[in-house]
Amino acid sequence: MDLSKTKTFDDFEIELINDCYYKITLHDDCIFSYDELNLLIETQIAWGEKKRPVMIICGEYSNTDTEFLKHLGKNVNDPYSIADAFVLKSLSQRYLAKFYFKFVKPERPTEFFKKEEDALTWLQQFIR
């Protein structure tokens, strides 16, 4: 039985894959920030408030800002994520990733990847 769900917003799409993990796909021009995070959390609440690993697929030009990254790095602000695997597409995203690790120090396990397959392999350790 497939337990997958999908919800699409203007700037991103969230999928619950086989009731195991969330997959968030950011549209190419998405600037992911507080409003998008609130939509994500509302969807996670509607889908049962279960903590799961999260894969974030960045769009070619999707981005965010450093102040939001400081907010995102705290577990209390992203309560339904137990681990984050980001799939990056651009050099600017890799620079933000380095900032995130060095200055934000996220409270949950976080890794960055070039390939979706590698991100999924890493997330497997967090799937319950």
Domain ranges of the chain: 5-126
Euclidean distance between CA atoms 25 and 95, whole angstroms: 20
Tell me, what's the pLDDT at 55?
98
Tell me, what's the pLDDT at 11?
95
What mean pLDDT is predicted for residues 62-71? 89
In terms of residues, how long is the chain? 128
What mean pLDDT is predicted for residues 64-79? 91
Tell me, what's the pLDDT at 2?
58
Residue 17, classed as helix, strand or coil, is: strand
Q: Which two tokens stand for residue 58?
A: 């960045």
Q: Are 116 and 55 in contact (CB under 8 A)?
A: yes
Euclidean distance between CA atoms 18 and 128, whole angstroms: 12
pLDDT in tens, 50-65: 999 999 999 999 999 8
CATH assignment of 5-126?
3.30.750.24
pLDDT at 128 over 90: no
Residue 5's contacts (CB-CB under 8 Å, 6 or more residues apart) are: 15, 16, 47
Global pTM reads: 0.92
Euclidean distance between CA atoms 93 and 32, whole angstroms: 12
